[in-house]
Each structure stands twice: as structure tokens, then as C-alpha cells.
């Protein structure tokens, strides 16, 4: 470990743990409709240095118990597609919170966006990037499946769900809803989870997959002992609020104890979505077979076809670039891989992916060796690689020089400086003499070979010695954005690069990014091209999640 806290060459970068005194943020669900946003999560204090009661005086313990603390609150802010929503949100005793906003969000075909969440409490700030789930643009309605209490109250719950006769009766209905007229239905699985249990979403997803149910959003609500019905009622009410005025609902109930109370809960109300149908399979098994999908279709609604997503044949490896700006400010993110926000989203949809961590500012050779070791230790299968910025050079070296030509089926690079970037040359020529930053960093033990490896003359030699291998398919995207759309941090760099190399994204020119089969130009700056949403322009609306998901679908269509 170097004095600046960076990992030395040859050692993979570990995922850092939160610093002492730093808040921890979990964003459980961010759900949205065309008009509203509902965010759920948890804000946790760092663990105290000592939790042993023996280390505390008796009067301190007594005083703490006798003095009730005031309800805590935090300032919540989320940024979605250039819009900023903020509010002061109360926190529950365990740190859980809910935030709701009215919004006008443009429809997206796939129904996914990225959000950057920032929470401030008592001068402490924590932020996290996550996925916003909303119905696709052509959604005909909302289907809510109420999972039985037994499936979340014990460790054997998911298996009980898979063996349930009532659950099996829903299978043909859910399949028909998914297939009818090529229409899309927003599907939500609603469950109440006791606070003492750790029911994982992945286990429930596996159980519903075994039943043949289509994929959907799992909404797990915490419930106290004996308050299962209250938790479900609160979740249903919030979903009805979310979709009021936009989509109608069909509720499929698998919990017999809720059958009597649900009709009253789902009565028409102002500012709540209309429930077109309520089905209880245990009470009336015959009716559930006869349900018509059009029961939740609003009158005169236009329909547009959609198709199921595609999953690549081979696992996918997401490679990050050089963290130059974070390094210059002497800061590194908790997870240096800029693709990590995709981790949970892709895993829940059947994608197998690796997010390797390599030395942030190291040279191509060192980074490529670390990358090879992590891929070989992860899987014996061939892989597809998606690499941003300098990560593309790492992968090309790994394929050609480290014997990975038979392990990599395809390489897709995004804004990779295949021919170098004038910015590095300019920086070294102008700042090495005036402000010897690189020399100082080297003196402190930081590997900065990555800066030198991106110089145009170095990349010319690299390309001559690193030919493409015929076993691998090479694809690339470039980036180009106008001066008005580039983030302020890259504005000076954009001007310098534009004068020498032409259209660029603030770090790499479109011309330098072309390699192999060129698939297109991204109209977003270098920072906005990755899902971590760091340093993006306040009005940036590039659909980065949709871009990478379409990239994966394209790989699947090509047979990779």
C-alpha cells in the first residue's frame, strides 16, 4: 500500500470498507411511474468502536435508556435524467426511510433508468448510484402478485412457494398476460418479510422461475410480528398511489388470510390507481383460469409490440478504465469498477458478469496481467469483454500477449484511446515542468504508467506490436458531444482535444476510439458513458443503462 492509499502494481485492488464515522446507505427500491417516484432504503450509522457493555459505566447505560432520542431525519436528493428531486425525510428507528416525489419522467422503451442518490445528515454526506424501475413505454397495466406469508416467514419459504397449489394455478394466467397481443405488463411481486428474517430476493426469484412465472420486480416490505396484513396493505396502497392516473391494476392474492380484507382496501379512491380485478385462487380456482388479460387494459389505449430480452451465450466481463481524475484529486471511489451499479440489476435478470478491479493508474501490462488472473480464477468458459476507456487497451494486450485469444470471444470497447489521446501528451509537456505532479506521485509509490501508455506515440508502437487475433471479434463505440453538453470538469480538455483531434467526449476523440467494427457514436461525455454517474453534467439525460442492455442483446443476436 502506498502512502496515498493506492494499491501497488501487481496486487488487485480490494473493495474498500467504509471509513470510520461514515454513513452507510442502502437503496432498496426506486420505483417510478410516468408521474411519480417512490424510493425506499436504509441509512445506517457506522458501528461504534466498542459495543461491549462492560466497557461502559452503569450510569451511562441507565442514562441512555431513560432519555428518549428525538426522531432523526435526513435530507434526501435523487438525480434522474437531469432532474433533481429533494426533500427532508424522517428516519425510522432502524434507519429505514421512504421518499416520494411527483415527477414527469419521459417514457423509456425498456423501463429502466439510473439514479444518483445523495443523503445528507448532520453535515455528513453519502451517495449511491442505483437503478430506477418503471413500466416500459408500451405497458398495458400493472399486475401485483401478493405472495403468501409462509414463503417469507421461514428459510424453507421459497420451496413452499414452488410447491403451492394456489401458486401453480397462477402460472397459466401470468404466462398469458406476458404473451397476449405482444403486450407488456409491469409485474410486481409483493411480500412482507419479518424484520428478524433475512429473506433474499434471489431465492424468491428462483422459486418463481421454477413455477414458470415471468420475471418481475420483487418488493419486500419489513413487517413486525403479527403485522403481515398491515405491511401488505401499506405496500398495496403505495403502489396504487404510484400508478394513479397512469395504469390500472390486477391483484392476484396467494395469501388466504387476506381474502376478506382486500376488497375494502382496494375500493376506488381519489389519487389511487383503479383495481380492475381481484383474484383469490384458493377461494375461486375456476375464475382464475378464465381471467382475461384485457381486464386491466384502459379504454382506447394504443398498443405497441415488445419482445423479450436476450442473454449472451457466454459470461460478460466489464473492465474499467484509468481513474485519472479521481487520482489527481487524491480520491478513489469505494468500488473503482465504474460498471458495478449494473451488478444486481443484471444478476437478477439472468446475466452472469464479472467486474474485475485492476490498479487504477497502472500501465497496460500490469493491468492486463491482473485482468487475466481474475478472469481465469472466475470461470473456465469463454467470455465477452466490455471495456471502457483505457480498459480496452488492457484487454487487447491480454488477448494478444497473454494467451487469452481462445478465452475471449468478443471485445467491445467504449471510448478507448486506441491511438492515444493528445490530452496526456499535453499534460506531460505542460505540467511535468511547471507542476511535477507525476514525479511527486511516483516518489510516493504511486504507479502512474497508465498516463504514459495513453500517449499517441506510445499507442502507435502498441498497435504495431499488438495485432488483433482472428479468433476474437472486435467492436467499438466512440464518443462525441458538443461543448454545451460536456461536464464542466472536462470543458478545458474538450477544447484542447477538439482543436487537435476533432469531435471528442472530453477525454478521447471519436477518431481514436474506432477499432474493429465500429458500431456508432455515443452523444455523451466520457464520464456520462458509465453507469456510476460520477462527475456527470447536471442536465445529462443519456440512457446509459439502456445503452449497455442493448449492447448485451446485440452480442446475444450475434451468437456470443
The whole-number pLDDT of residue 183 equals 53
Q: What is the pLDDT of residue 496?
A: 93
Q: In what order do the strands lie in the sheet with 96-102?
A: 83-90, 73-80, 112-121, 124-133, 24-32, 36-44, 96-102
Angle, CA 224 vertex, CA 260 and CA 266 arms, to 5°: 30
The CA-based angle 153-157-162, given to 5 degrees, is: 150
As to burial, measured by CB atoms within 10 angstroms (0-12 exposed, 13-18 middle, 19+ buried), residue 450 is buried
Q: How far apart are CA 62 and CA 117, in angstroms?
A: 38
Instruction: Report the pLDDT value the prediction gives residue 330, as an integer from 0 to 100.
Output: 39
- Which of the residue ranges 36-50, 66-80, 259-273 would you say has the lowest mean pLDDT? 66-80
139-296 and 316-557 share one CATH topology? yes
Burial class (CB in 10 A: 0-12, 13-18, 19+), 455: buried
Which among 10-24, 74-88, 229-243, 540-554 has the top mean pLDDT?
229-243
In 275-382, DSSP assigns E strands to: 275-279, 316-319, 353-354
What sign does the dihedral 317-318-322-328 (CA atoms) show? negative
Instruction: Write down the pLDDT at residue 228.
Output: 85
**What class does CATH assign to 24-46+73-133?**
mainly beta
Q: Residue 9: its pLDDT value, please?
A: 36
Question: Where do the domains of the chain lie?
Answer: 24-46+73-133, 139-296, 316-557
**Confidence class of residue 195 from pLDDT cuts 50, 70 and 90?**
low
| Domain 139-296: which CATH number of 3.40.50, 2.60.120, 2.60.40, 3.90.75 | 3.40.50
- Residues ≥6 apart with Cβ < 8 Å to 300: none
Task: Rounding to the nearest 10 degrees, give the CA dihedral for residues 7, 12, 14, 15.
Answer: 110
pLDDT band of residue 546 (cuts 50, 70, 90) is confident
Q: pLDDT band at 110, cuts 50/70/90?
A: low
Mean pLDDT across 258-284: 84
C-alpha cell at 159: 420451496
Q: Does pLDDT of 99 surpass 80?
A: yes
**pLDDT over threshold 50, residue 65:** no
Q: Would you say residue 49 has pLDDT above 70?
A: no
Per-residue pLDDT band at 52 (split at 50, 70, 90): very low
Which tens digit of pLDDT belongs to each residue from 496-519? 999 999 999 999 999 999 999 999
Q: What is the mean pLDDT of residues 249-254?
A: 88
Burial grade of 440 (CB within 10 A; 0-12, 13-18, 19 or more):
exposed
What gap in Å lies between CA 198 and CA 447, rounded to an integer?
42
**Mean pLDDT across 26-46:** 84
Contact 114, 545 (CB under 8 A): yes
Highest mean pLDDT among 61-70, 199-208, 227-236: 227-236
Residue 151: the pLDDT is 78
- pLDDT at 532 exceeding the cut of 50: yes
The architecture of the domain spanning 316-557 is: 3-Layer(aba) Sandwich (3.40)
For 427-471, how does the pLDDT look when each residue is reduced to its tens digit (9 = 90+)? 877 765 544 555 665 565 566 678 889 999 999 999 999 999 999
Q: How do residues 357-412 score in pLDDT, each as one tens digit?
A: 998 888 999 999 999 999 999 999 999 999 999 999 999 999 999 999 999 999 99
Band the pLDDT of 335: cuts 50, 70, 90. low
Average pLDDT over the chain, rounded to an integer: 78
Amino acid at each position: 500500500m502506498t502512502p496515498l492509499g493506492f494499491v501497488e502494481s501487481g496486487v488487485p485492488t480490494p473493495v474498500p470498507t467504509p471509513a470510520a464515522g461514515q454513513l452507510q446507505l442502502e437503496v432498496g427500491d426506486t420505483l417510478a411511474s410516468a408521474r411519480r417516484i417512490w424510493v425506499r432504503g436504509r441509512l445506517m450509522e457506522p458501528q461504534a468502536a466498542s459495543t461491549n457493555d462492560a466497557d461502559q459505566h452503569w450510569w451511562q447505560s441507565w442514562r441512555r435508556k431513560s432519555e428518549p432520542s428525538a426522531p432523526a431525519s435526513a435530507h434526501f436528493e435523487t438525480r434522474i435524467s437531469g432532474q433533481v428531486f429533494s426533500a427532508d425525510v424522517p428516519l425510522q428507528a432502524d434507519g429505514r426511510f421512504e421518499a416520494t416525489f411527483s415527477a414527469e419522467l419521459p417514457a423509456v422503451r425498456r423501463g429502466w433508468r439510473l439514479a444518483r442518490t445523495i443523503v445528507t445528515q448532520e453535515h455528513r454526506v453519502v451517495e449511491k448510484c442505483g437503478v430506477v424501475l418503471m413500466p416500459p413505454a408500451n405497458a398495458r397495466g400493472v399486475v401485483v402478485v401478493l405472495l403468501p406469508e409462509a414463503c417469507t416467514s421461514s428459510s424453507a419459504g421459497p420451496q413452499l412457494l414452488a410447491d403451492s397449489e394456489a401458486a401453480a394455478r397462477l402460472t397459466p394466467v401470468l404466462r398469458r398476460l406476458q404473451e397476449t397481443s405482444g403486450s407488456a405488463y409491469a409485474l410486481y411481486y409483493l411480500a412482507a418479510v419479518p424484520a428478524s428474517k433475512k429473506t433474499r430476493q434471489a431465492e424468491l426469484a428462483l422459486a418463481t422461475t421454477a413455477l414458470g412465472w415471468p420475471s418481475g420486480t420483487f418488493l419486500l416490505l419489513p413487517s413486525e410480528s403479527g403485522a403481515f396484513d398491515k405491511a401488505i396493505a401499506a405496500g398495496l396502497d403505495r403502489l396504487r398511489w404510484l400508478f394513479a392516473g397512469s395504469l390500472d391494476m390486477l391483484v392476484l392474492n396467494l395469501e388466504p388470510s387476506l381474502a376478506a380484507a382486500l376488497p375494502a382496501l382496494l375500493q376506488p379512491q381519489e389519487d389511487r390507481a383503479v383495481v380492475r380485478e381481484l383474484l383469490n385462487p384458493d377461494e375461486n380456482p375456476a375464475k382464475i383460469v378464465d381471467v382475461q388479460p384485457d381486464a386491466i387494459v384502459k379504454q382506447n389505449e394504443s398498443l405497441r409490440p415488445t419482445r423479450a430480452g436476450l442473454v449472451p451465450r457466454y459470461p460478460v466481463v466489464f473492465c474499467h478504465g484509468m481513474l485519472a481524475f479521481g487520482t489527481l484529486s487524491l480520491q478513489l471511489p469505494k468500488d473503482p469498477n465504474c460498471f458495478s451499479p449494473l451488478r444486481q440489476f443484471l444478476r437478477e435478470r439472468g446475466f452472469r458478469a464479472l467486474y474485475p478491479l485492476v490498479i487504477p493508474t497502472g500501465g497496460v501490462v500490469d493491468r492486463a496481467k491482473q485482468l487475466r488472473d481474475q478472469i481465469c480464477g472466475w470461470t473456465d468458459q469463454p467470455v465477452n469483454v466490455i471495456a471502457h476507456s483505457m480498459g480496452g487497451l488492457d484487454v487487447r494486450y491480454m488477448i494478444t500477449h497473454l494467451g487469452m485469444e481462445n478465452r475471449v470471444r468478443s471485445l467491445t470497447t467504449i471510448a478507448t484511446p486506441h491511438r492515444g489521446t493528445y490530452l496526456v501528451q499535453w499534460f506531460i509537456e505542460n505540467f511535468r515542468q511547471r507542476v511535477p505532479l507525476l514525479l511527486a506521485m511516483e516518489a510516493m509509490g504511486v504507479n502512474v504508467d497508465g498516463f504514459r501508455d495513453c500517449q499517441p506515440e506510445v499507442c502507435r508502437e502498441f498497435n504495431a506490436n499488438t495485432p488483433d487475433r482472428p479468433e476474437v471479434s472486435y467492436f467499438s463505440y466512440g464518443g462525441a458531444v458538443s461543448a454545451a453538453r460536456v461536464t464542466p470538469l472536462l470543458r478545458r480538455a474538450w477544447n484542447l482535444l477538439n482543436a487537435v483531434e476533432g469531435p471528442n467526449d472530453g477525454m478521447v476523440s471519436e477518431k481514436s476510439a474506432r477499432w474493429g467494427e465500429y458500431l456508432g457514436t455515443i452523444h455523451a461525455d466520457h464520464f456520462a458513458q458509465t453507469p456510476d454517474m460520477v462527475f456527470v453534467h447536471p442536465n445529462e439525460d443519456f440512457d446509459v443503462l439502456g445503452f449497455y442492455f442493448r449492447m448485451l442483446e446485440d452480442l446475444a443476436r450475434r451468437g456470443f
